[in-house]
Amino acid sequence: MKLTKDQINQIKNQQSQNNQTKRATVPELEKILYEAVPALDHGFVRVIDYMGDDTSIVQAARVSYGKGTKKVSTDEGLIKYLMRHWHSTPFEMCEIKYHIKLPIFIARQWIRHRTANVNEYSARYSILDKEFYLPTTENLAAQSLNNRQGRGDVLEGDQAKEVLELLKNDAERTYNNYETMLNQRFDGSQIDESKKGLARELARMNLTLNTYTQWYWKTDLLNLMNFLRLRADSHAQYEIRVYADIMLDTLKRWTPITYDAFMDYRVGGTEVSAKGKIIIEKLIKREDVNIENSGLSKREWNELMEAFKLNDRII
């Protein structure tokens, strides 16, 4: 990861602040506030602001409790109850804002989560950094034969070297053409003072998708967990999972009680359909049940067996 001098100075200035507030603050999250946590080869994740903590969730949930309530659950017990029963609005009372640097192709996948406020670096206004994402050899894999959006065997030897060279050369060539069309180098110098540069909004269109962009991404706690449940999963694309894992750590620092409940009920738990529930009940009773009489498709059956570690029944 490479930070510019301006970015380094900005982070130092932000971290040197010592503001007094009556709002809830979280010491563990404050420790990494504004810090650029490396992601991939040139990316990073920074927490730059947040609102609320675990107690904010409890406060929001209890606002509906009447005066006649005689007994109130502990904060941990209440948050677990809310998570277990899929309550949502109390978790929306907390918000967090990230500054993220990421490859464009991951940004386009990420933006499909339409539950955040996003402001991206403008290539119509500014020149994009001369930085591209190049996978490490262990993350350079062939197309999966049984999953249209997944990876198969890792490429090796000359084939891996050839692919990396193609990725690198294409990115560098298109960026050089980008500078030529702009008539301006990355360092700001003119290429040919006698020529006019193409408009930035047009010159950008030939850049490769592994070029890095940046954005501010602000969301509430509920939608952050929805994002992490999908993107920190082992089936998610490796590159976006790198960012999700970093953000999962910020969740743990920010709302540790909610994090524990999230990992237990959302990440570590599993959903079972009505038919699946009947099958599990029959298996517990040692009744005869198989895919033919289950009413499930092959995929549904295998997912259910895998969820309960019944690997000998996977077809």
In eight-state DSSP terms, residue 155 is P
Q: Do 132 and 210 form a contact (C-beta atoms < 8 A)?
A: yes
What's the N-to-C CA distance of the chain in angstroms?
Answer: 44
Radius of gyration of the chain (CA): 25
| Amino acid in position 311 | N
Per-residue CA distances from 304 to 48, 84, 212, 246, 265 (Å): 41, 20, 39, 29, 17
Structure-block tokens of residue 266? 């959302």
Among residues 204, 231, 253, 266, the one annotated as catalytic is 231
* Closest to 217 measured CA to CA, from 43, 69, 63: 43
* Closest to 139 measured CA to CA, from 236, 230, 238: 238
Q: Establish whether 286 is a catalytic residue.
A: no
Per DSSP, which regions of the chain are E strands?
37-39, 43-51, 95-103, 117-120, 141-143, 151-154, 212-220
- The dihedral over CA atoms of 77, 113, 236, 207, expressed in degrees to the nearest 10, equals -150
C-alpha 253/C-alpha 222 separation (Å) is 16
In eight-state DSSP terms, residue 138 is G
Residues, the chain: 315
* Closest to 161 measured CA to CA, from 137, 133, 131: 137
Catalytic center residues: 231
